[in-house]
Structure 1
């Protein structure tokens, strides 16, 4: 049975998703996206991620061991990032990964908690066995499972685009110079903790490398690219222990922050 805390967690994701959709709709229709909806989205994120973090890590402890473990937790990282976005000038694309996570959490919560209260279960698959889910709930479960990996790949590539966006934004004074630094550190953590992020980085690296080394390009391009990769490799080369996902809340499947 779902607890009050579980409903609050889900409410945070509903707020995030609905507010993000409102913000995106206003943005793409050129109606002037209100910063209110951007902030409302990350308010929902803060609620949901705070509950998950408290459930997985417990009450904060005044010792180094607790904070080291907390800083390696993916949900803590997304919580801190959502707090940063909440206090920052809106960057539209920054909402997309959170909205994708929330979509899957909302769908799963709807299937496992809400639908069971309004839709009658199907007949048992075997004599004397448990009832089967309602056909609508079953179709929803199949859709979530079939599209989960694709969505997580989309998140990984989107997070790389966000880094490009905030770097360009710092150059053109659309966001603070601190934003790409903070986000690059977040992305470094994601690289060590997410296979989807590693795959996306490898793909992008391969495409750029192939273009730079194309016959006829100036040799200086190769030199600059190699030095850039060396600097990035040294900065990101610290050995981190990848975190093992731990169940918390009503997550759709291992991998989506906000309800592991």
Structure 2
């Protein structure tokens, strides 16, 4: 049976979904979206991720063991990132990865917790066996499983797009110079912990390599690209222990 904490977790994701829809729809239609909905979206994220972090890590402990566990926990990373966005100037695209996560969480919560309370179960698969889920719940489960990997691939590319956005935003002073530095560290963590992120970076690198090294490209472009990759590899080269999948972006 679902606990109050579980309902609060789901409520945070629902709040994020509804608020981000209102903000992003206004932004897409050039209606001057209200920063209130942006802040409310990440407030929902903070609630949900804080609950997951507490569930997996327990109360904060002033010792190295707890801190090391927290540093490599992807839920903590997304919680800290949500806190950063919540306190920063709104950037619409930053909502989309969180909204995608919340969509899958909300659908799973609906299937596993809400539907059994209102929809009758299906017939047992075998004589005397346990009842099967309602056909609607089964269809929802199939859809989630069929689209999960595609959605996570989209999130990985969106997170790279956000990096480009905040980097350019820092150059033209649209966002603070701290933003690309903070977000680059977040992506560094994701690279070591997410196969989707590694695959996205590999694909982007291949596309850029194909463009930079094609005949006719000025040699200076190749030199700049090689220097950038060398510096990036040195900065990101520290080993971070990979984490097993199953944290807040995928849990509950």
Pairing 1:66-105 to 2, within 5 Å after superposition: 66-105=66-105
Matched with 1:60 is 60
For the residue of structure 2 that corresponds to 1:85, the secondary structure is helix
- 1:255 Cα shift? 6.5
Aligned residue pairs total 252
CA contact (8 A) 2:111 2:140 kept: yes
Write the deviation string for residues 57-101 of structure 1: whole angstroms up to 9, x where unpaired. 011111112111101100000000000000000010000100000
- 1:170 Cα shift? 0.7
- 1:259 Cα shift? 2.9
| Greater than 3 Å deviation, 4+ residue runs | none
Using the size of structure 2 for normalisation, the TM-score is 0.98
- 1:256 Cα shift? 6.0
Write the deviation string for residues 20-42 of structure 1: whole angstroms up to 9, x where unpaired. 11111111111111000000000
Find the aligned partners of 1:218 and 1:162 in 2 and give their Cα distance: 28
Find the aligned partners of 1:190 and 1:256 in 2 and give their Cα distance: 14
Matched with 2:249 is 257
CA contact (8 A) 1:45 1:79 kept: yes
Find the aligned partners of 1:2 and 1:222 in 2 and give their Cα distance: 56
Matched with 2:19 is 19
Write the deviation string for residues 171-198 of structure 1: whole angstroms up to 9, x where unpaired. 1111100000000000000000000000
CA contact (8 A) 1:152 1:256 kept: no
Matched with 2:34 is 34
Unaligned runs of 5+ in 1: 246-253
